[in-house]
Structure 1
Amino acid sequence: MNKMVRIMLVMMSVILLAGIIAIIVIYKSNQATQATSPSIDDVVNSSVDIDTMTTNLKDNHIVQIALKIEGNDKKAKEELTKRDFQIKDIMIDELSSMTMQDLQGVQGKEKFKTDLKNRLNKIMQDGQVVNVYITSYVIQ
């Protein structure tokens, strides 16, 4: 009987210790997430607006689109501003290879934004593109 009580106490101690460790890990990860989330002022200060542009899609439909591209810091913003013409060129390349159906719905727009972000990050030297936001979108 005495041996069984010891085993139960050891098991309860191990479970309690595992619970405490789990709570600490969750607490620390929440603090890290909150610390790395930029404020809206930081997002605006590191973002560049791409004016509305109109171009043809692969299936001869027309899209009018405007973007806000967020860099990871002010240096990235400066580089994005200088690369405005390259950004527009990449946008035209991406859009001209897509159909109206490709851009329909959330998934189509997300794919466009992800592809654009990846291509821009390949040419960036002083920073990274963190996010691409569609600020205006019309398709005909």
Structure 2
Amino acid sequence: MFQNRLVTIMLIILASLTLIGVVVFILYTQVFQSEDADAEPSIEEVIERSVETSEITTNLYTNQVIRAVFVIEADSEDAKEEVEMRDFQVNNIIISELSDMSAQDLQGSEGMSMLEENIRSRMNEIMQDGSIVRVYIKDKVIQ
């Protein structure tokens, strides 16, 4: 009877240690996975999820002409495909944003950031499969 108790106690201790090990492993992997999800994407991931617009030439509010190229970064591959399909809507949003601006509105980093943010927010209104993370001005000439 003594050996039966000893075996039972050893099995309980072994099961407890195994259970503790499994819980620690799960918690450990979950903590590091959530930190990886918050990490900045690599440049390869950004390029894979980005769409470059064709060169857009339009008038500003002050009748000056702007030529610009934008790069639109989506949050997923599905969102990138949706942006590519909505290219005419993207161009329309960009042209309408530019038509309300003057050359002075686009001077400096603050003006360019404001334009990028306005385009991003308007595009997110029409997106169905994901969202736009960031809009970059790749090229800009005002005449």
Give me the TM-score of the superposition, normalised by structure 1. 0.75
1:65 paired with 2:68, answer yes
Which residue of 123, 133, 137 maps to 1:134?
137
Whole-angstrom distance in 2 between the partners of 1:35 and 1:62 = 40
Structure index of larger Rg: 2
1:37 paired with 2:40, answer yes
Give the counterpart letter for 1:137 in structure 2: K
Identity of aligned residues (%): 42
Residue of structure 1 equivalent to 2:114: 111
CA root-mean-square deviation: 1.6
Specify every segment of 5 or more residues in structure 2 that has no aligned partner in the other structure, as ranges: 1-30
Residue of structure 1 equivalent to 2:83: 80
Shift of 1:34: 8.0
Equivalenced residue count is 111
Specify every segment of 5 or more residues in structure 1 that has no aligned partner in the other structure, as ranges: 1-27
Which structure 1 residue ranges, 4+ long, deviate > 3 Å from structure 2? none
1:113-138 deviation line (CA, Å, top 9, x unaligned): 00000000000000100011111110
Residue of structure 1 equivalent to 2:127: 124
Shift of 1:35: 4.9
Shift of 1:51: 1.2
